Structure 1
Amino acid sequence: MDEVINYTRLTTSDKLPDRFLTCQVYNPVDPEQAKLGMIFSHVEILNPWFPTSQIGQTVINTLIREYYAGDDTSELVNFENAIKKVNEALAQIAQNGDTDWIGKFSSVLVLISGKEAHFAQTGHSHAYLYRGGKINHITEGLEQEEAPHPLKTFSNLTSGTLEEGDKIIVANTSFYEILEPSELKTIISSLHPTEAALECARILQSRGNQNANAIIFELTTKEELANLTPEQKIETIYIDQSGLSFNATMRNIWRNFFIPSGKLIKNTFQALIKDIKKYLVPAIRHGLKVLKRGLQSAFGATAKITKKEAEKLSQRISQKVSPIKEIKDKKQVKTLFYKIKNKIRRFLIGVGLYSTQKSKMYLVALIAVILVLAAAITFSIIKRSQAKSNHALETKLNQAVSMEGEAAIANSKGQESDALNKYKTVLTLTAALQGTKYEKDAKPISERAAAKIDEITKTTHLKPINNVDLGQGQAILTLTSDKLTATYYSGEIKQKKPQDPNLLKLAQSKIAGDKAVSSAFVPEYNLIAYVLKDNTIQTFNLETKQTNTEEVKINYPGQVYSFAGNLYILDPPSNQIWKILSEGGKYKNNSPYLKDADANISDVISMTIDGSIYTLAPSGNISRFSRGSKLGDFKVSLPGEEQISGWEIISTSASSDNLYLGAIDNNKARIFELKKNGTYIRQFSLDNSEGVKSILVDPDRNIAYIAKNNQLLTYQF
C-alpha cells in the first residue's frame, strides 16, 4: 500500500486556564496495529483543565485501546464498537457525579485506514475536506442542537473514501472564527500540511488567538512524502511560540524585510533613472546645442574677442542651460549608506577585524555570514529539539490524566486491582515530570492518585512521635512490657518508654551483646532471654539486674519467642521449632515442638504466639499451629491483589484480636493489620522510614519501632 498520511498538529505548548483543549495523533508502531490505520483525536471541553482533562484523555485512550483490541474483520465495525465504549466511559463518569462537562464537550474522532476515513463528531468542532479546489463539510449535520445523554455523546458517524491529494482539517470553533473554511481554501489546497499550519499559526498569532486547535492531514504517497524536506514534515506547530521554525523565520524575514527593501531600492533606482532621463539628459543636450551655436557665432563674427565679450558669452550659455532638479531623496540614501558603512567599519575596528585589504574584508564578511547561518540553524535545531521534548512530556502528562480517568472508572465499578494498578501508573508517569515545565500540572494529579491509592488500600500515613539516637555498638532490641530495651555489644542495657525523648541506662550487664542473635521478653519472670551464636542462652533479670547462663544447649541459634514462661526457638534449617520449658525461670532442656510430619517451615522468617503459633514465610503465607500440629494456613490478601516482597515480622498476643505484619517495601516500613483468620483490615505507612533495618510491633499498645542508621523512630497507630 503506497498511500500514507502526512499530518501536522496545530496546538499550544501550555495548558489553557479556561478549557481542556488537545489534538492528538496515534500512529501505531506495532506492525499489526499499523495495518488497522491511524487515529486522529480532537477534544475541547469548555471547563478549567482539571478535572476535565482526565475526561478528555479518557475519551482518547478508550478509543485507541478498544479499537485496536477489536476482533471484527471490518475496521468500521471495530471503530463503531470503540465509540460505544467511549460513550459508556462518559456515562460512567457522569454516573460518578462528574457532570460539569455535559454541554461543553466538543470533539472529532477520526480513523484513517488505507483510503477509508471514518468520523465521529459531537459539539461544535468540525472537519472539512479539500479536494480539487472544492470544499466538503464532512461533519455537516452531525452536530446535535442540545447536549446529548452521555451514552449518546457520539451518536452520529460518517465515512468516505479518500483520493490521493485530499486534504482534511479538523478544528475547533475558535480556529474557524479566525479562519473560515472558504478563506482556508487557498492555504490548505496549495500547501503541504506543515506549511499550511505555519501560515495558519502566523495568522492566528497576528490576531492574538491562542485558543485555536487543529489537525491538518493529507493522503499522499510514500515517494512524495520522501521528497519533502524535514522542514516540510513537522508534526507539531505551537501557536504560542514565537519562533515557529527556521524556514518560517527566514520566510518572514524575506517577506517583511528583503521584499520591502528590494521594492524600495527598485523604486528608488527607477525614480532616479526617470529623473535623469527627464531632466539631466535634455539639459545636457540643450546646453551642447547652445554652446555650439555660441561658438559658431563667436568665431564667425571676429577672430578677436575681448575679455568682456567672452564673459557676456559665458553668461548667455549659462542662461540657456536649464537648472537640473535636485534629487534630495537620492542624496539622503547616499548619506545613509555611508553612515551605515562607517558604523560597520568602526565596529570591525573595535573588535579587531578591520583590514584595508579588500580580500581580508571579503573573508571576514564570508565568515560573518557563515556564523549567522550557523547560529540560525543551531537555533532552529534547538527549537525543534525543545518542541520534541515538550511533546514527549506533554504526552506523559496526557497519559497520566487519561490513566487517572480510567482508574476512577475502574474503581467505581469495584475493580480494585485494575484501579490500583492504574493509579500506580499515574504516579510513575507524574514522577517523570518532576523538574519540568509540566511539574505544576502533574502535582495535583499525583496527589489525587496517591490519595486514591490510600483509600483503596486503607492506608494511613504515620509520622514518628520521636526520634532517638541509639548510639554506636547497638546489638539487639527487645520489647519489654511498656518499654523498649536496647542491649549493646558491651553489655550495657538502656530503656525507653514510647514518649521518652531519650534512652536511659538501666544497667551494665554481663550479657555477651556482641554474640547475641535474638532476644525475647519473659514477663512471667521479668527477664530477657538472649540466644547466642554459640548455641547457649543467657538471661538478664530486669529487677535484680543479674545475668545468668542457662544450662540448656540449643540445636540452632535462631529467633527466640516467649509464651507462658516458656521459650520457643525457630529452626528453619531443621524444619523445626524447639520448645524450652521453664523450670521456675530456669531453662535446662529443649524438645521438638512440631509433630506434624507434613509441616514445612523451612522458609519461615518470623513467628508469633498467642497460644497458637503463627509463622510467616517470605511469600506472605501464614501457617497456624497448635500443640505441634498444623491447623491451616492462608496467604496475606491485600487490596488490589498487591504483592509485597519484603515481609519481615509477624506479631500478636493473647490479648490482641489481630495479627500485625511488618514489611520493608521499596525501602520504607509498612505495617499491615489482619484478623487472625487472614481478613485484611488496614495498613500503615511509616514516614521517614527510608533505610529501615528492623521493625518491632507492640500489638497491645499499638506502638511500632524501627531502627535505621543508629536511630530509633517510634510510631503510634
Structure 2
Amino acid sequence: MNKIEKLLIFDATNSRTTAHVFIARPSPAEERTLGKLGFVAEIASADRINQELLSRLQDFLKAAYYTSPEVNSAVAFEHTIQACNRYLSELISDFGSAWVDNFSMVIFTIRDQEIHFADAGRLLGFLIHDKKVTDLLGNRSGLQKINPLKIFLSISSGELKSDNAVIFSTANLMDYFSIERLRRTIMETPLGGAGKNLEDILRKDPNHAAFAAIILRAQAAEALLPTSLETIAPNDNINGAPQRSIDNMLAQNAQTQEFLTPSMWPFIQKSARKLFTRIKVLFRAWILRKPTRISAALEAENLKIEPSGRLRTGQVITPPRSRLVTKTIGKTLFNKIPNFIWQSSRQAWRATPKLLNSIKNLGGNLKRAPQQIPATFERQVNTVKSLPQKSRWLFLGVIGVAAVLAIVLIIAGVQRQRSAAQQVITEKISNIEKNLETARSVLLYGDEDRVKTLLTDAKKEIETLPNKSKSDKAKRESLLTDVESVLAKTRHEIKPEIKTLISLPAEIKPLGLALLGNNLYTLNSQNNLLVSVSLQTSEKKDLATLPGNPDILEITTFGSGNLTAITSNLEIIEQRPSTQKGTRYGLVLPNPNANLVGLVNYNTALYFIDVANNLILKATRAGPGYTATNWLKQNANLDSAADIAVDGALYVLTKQGEIQKYNQGQRAQLALSTVEPPLTSAVKFAADTNLQNFYVLDTAGKRIVVFTKAGKFVNQYVGDALANVSALVVNERTKKIYLLNSSDIQSIDIQK
C-alpha cells in the first residue's frame, strides 16, 4: 500500500506564482487496474488565466487516463501524455503562448510499487532511499526551453521500493530546506505526517510564496523484489515517448560520483579486484583443472563467457567452458597488461634524465643530510649511508621505480582530469550553439523576448569558458560575435536627427517642459519667469512671473489652458499663460516629512509621489488651498520612484526602469519586454490619454525607449546628445518628441 501526501500553499491575491496539486480519486476498480494519477504544476506568474488553464488540464488528464481502453498502466500513461501534448497545443490557441515559458509540471501515475512520470519545466523531483537522496529531474529540468509543440518529451519509469519515498515539488522549496533536512522531515516522520510538517514550516513565510508538493511513500509491509525496466515498460513502446528507469538513474549517479572522485585509490582498488578474480579463475581452470564457479564480482564485470546468454552467480562451468575463461583472461594478461606496462615504461624513459640527475646528486645530499634535516630522520639517513654500495644502489633503484610509478599515476590522473574538463567545455559550447540556432529560429516568428532570454543565457555561458590560450580567446570572440549579430536585430535602434528649435539665453536656467496647443512652456528657475516657444516660428516670449520664491520643483498642464507648479515649500501655483498674475495655494499633506516626486493632472486633481512614505497622493481644491490624501488602497514600494503619469490608469516609473501600473488604488499586472541593453536607469517618461505608447528617458543609456501600454518593446532612439536631456513631452498627432536639453529646446521625429 502506498501513502500519498500533498502540500499546497497558494494565495490567489498575494502570491506571485500560481501553484496547483492534483491527486485523482478513481473508483476501486479503476484504481486496481490503473492506479492513481496526479500532478504538481506551477506557472511563474500571477495571471488570472492560470487557474482556469490548470483546471481545464486537470479535468482533461483525469478523463484521458481513466477512460483509456488500455489495462496496462504504462501504456495508458503513454497515451495520456501524448494526448496531453495535443491538448496543451489547443490551450495555447485559447490562452496565447505567454504562459508557456513559465509553465512547469510533473505528471505521475503509481500502481502498487510501479511508478511512471513525465516532467516539463523547472520543478524538483527526489528519490529518497537508503539514507541517500537522488535528483530525478536535475539532469534535465530547466536546461532546455519548453517546445510549445511538444511540452512533455519523455517518460521515466521505475519501482518505488519498500521504505523509499519520492517527492515532486516547486523549486522554491529548496530556499527553505536543505537536502538532508528534507530527507529527515519525510523519512523520520510517521506515515501521513510529512506533508503537515512541511506545511507548518512553510506557512511562516511572510512573502506569500506559493508552494506545491506531492510525497509518495511505500510501506515496508508491501515490499516487492526489484524489477528491471523491461517488466515495467509496455511491450509496444510509443514513438516520441522515450523510456528511462529509476534504477538506471541510480546506477548512472553512482558512476558519476565515482568518476568525479579526486582520488586514484578507488580506480586502483577496482583494477586490483578485477586482476585477482581473473587470476583465481585461471588458476582453477588451467592449473587445477577443476570446475570453476563464477563469483558475483566476476559476473558483475559482464565477461562474455557464453555466447548464448549471461551466466548466473554460482553456475558451474564445465571444462570446455573453462577454456573460454582461460582465453578471455589470457588476453587480459598477455595483451592488455603488457601494453599498459609498455606505455608506462615509455613515459618512465622520458623522465629518466631527470631521475638520473637526482640520483647523481643524492649522494652529496645524503652527506649533508644530518645538518639539513630534522634529527628525527638522522638515524634513517645514516643507516642508508652505511649500506654497501650494491645495496645502496639497489635501494635507490627501488626508490626510483616507485617515483616513476608515482609519476605515471599522476600523469594518468591529470590526463583524466583534463579530459573531463574538456568534455565539460565541449558541452557548454554545444549548448551555446544550440541556443544561438534556437534564437535564430524563434526570431523568425517574432518572439523577441524569448530570443533575448536565450542570448542572455548564452552570454553567461560564454563568460564561463576558459580564456587563456589564443584558441580559447578566438572561440570566445567568435561566439560573442554570433550572439551580438543576432541580438542587434532585437535592439531596434534608431539614430534620429535632433533638431534645435531654439537656444535659450545663458541667463535662463530652464526647468521642466509643458505643451499647450502650439506652444511649449518652460520656467526660468532663477526668477520664476514663464517662457513660451512657438512650435511654428520658434519664437521665444517672456510671459508672466509666477508668484512667490524661486523654489519650484515641477510644472505640468492643468485643465484646458492652465499651467500648475509645485514648490519645495509644499505650495501649488496656478498660472494662465495669457495673464500676468498667478495664484499661490497652500498644500496640506498627510505626513509632514514628505519628499515629493513628479506632478501630473487628471480630471481636476493633481497626483504626485511621496517617496519618503511610499504614498501616491491625490490633491484636490478644498476652500482656500489644496488637500492631499493617500490614493493607494494597498502598500507599495515607491522609494525609488522617478516620475508619474496618468491616462485613466496611473503609472509610476522607477529609477531602475520598471513601470508600475495601478487601477483604482490597486497594483495591476504590467511587465515590460526585455530591452537590450537592459533598462536599468530612468529619469522621466511620457504617458497620457493622448498617447498610445510609453516614452522612457534613459539619460545614462543616452536613449529614449518606447513601449506599448501593454509593455511590448517598440524601438529606441539613441544618441550622445540625449545624455543631458532633463524633460520631454510627446505629440503623437504631429509625430514629434520635444526635449529640454540644457538650454536648448529640441525635437525628434517619431519613427516606426
**Structure 2 length as normaliser, TM-score?**
0.36
Structure having greater relative contact order (Cα 8 Å, sep ≥ 6): 1
Quick check: which has more Rg, 1 or 2? 1
